[in-house]
């Protein structure tokens, strides 16, 4: 696990199912490597890896359709906001500026 990862403080809640997913996703939303985690773990089937399992399925479909990294991260972030129940107006979108590439991930 990356030493910068916010999840290192409570790793058990990231695999606790629906009972802990809101707390886990809220932790992810404040993580300094959130964007790296989402992209690197798109293929994970279980647990919270920057977003919910359901969001990762949607991200994989978008990636297969040629979605850019920024589009994938936007989908993950908006899914997280909906899941946790925060207003999109309160969300810091500066995470998208950190994105390394706007090129499609899958050709």
User: Is residue 102 very low, low, confident or very high in pLDDT (cuts 50, 70, 90)?
Assistant: very low
Question: Contact, 95 vs 73, CB < 8 A?
Answer: yes
Q: Is 104 helix (H, G, I), strand (E, B) or coil?
A: strand
Q: What is the pLDDT of residues 28-87, one digit of tens each?
A: 988 999 999 999 999 998 899 999 999 999 999 999 999 999 999 999 999 998 888 764
- What is the predicted pLDDT for the residue at 103? 45
Residue 97 has pLDDT above 70, yes or no: no
- What is the predicted pLDDT for the residue at 90? 46
Residue 8 has pLDDT above 60, yes or no: yes
């Amino acid at each position: 696990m990356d030493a910068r990862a916010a999840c290192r403080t409570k790793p058990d809640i990231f695999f606790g199912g629906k009972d802990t997913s809101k707390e886990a996703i809220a932790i992810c939303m404040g993580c300094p490597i959130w964007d790296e985690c989402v992209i690197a773990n798109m293929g994970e089937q279980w647990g919270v890896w920057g977003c919910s399992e359901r969001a990762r399925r949607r991200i994989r479909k978008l990636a297969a359709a040629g979605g850019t990294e920024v589009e994938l991260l936007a989908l993950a972030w908006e899914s997280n906001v909906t899941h946790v129940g925060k207003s999109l107006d309160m969300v810091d979108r500066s995470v998208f500026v950190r994105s390394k590439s706007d090129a499609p991930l899958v050709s």
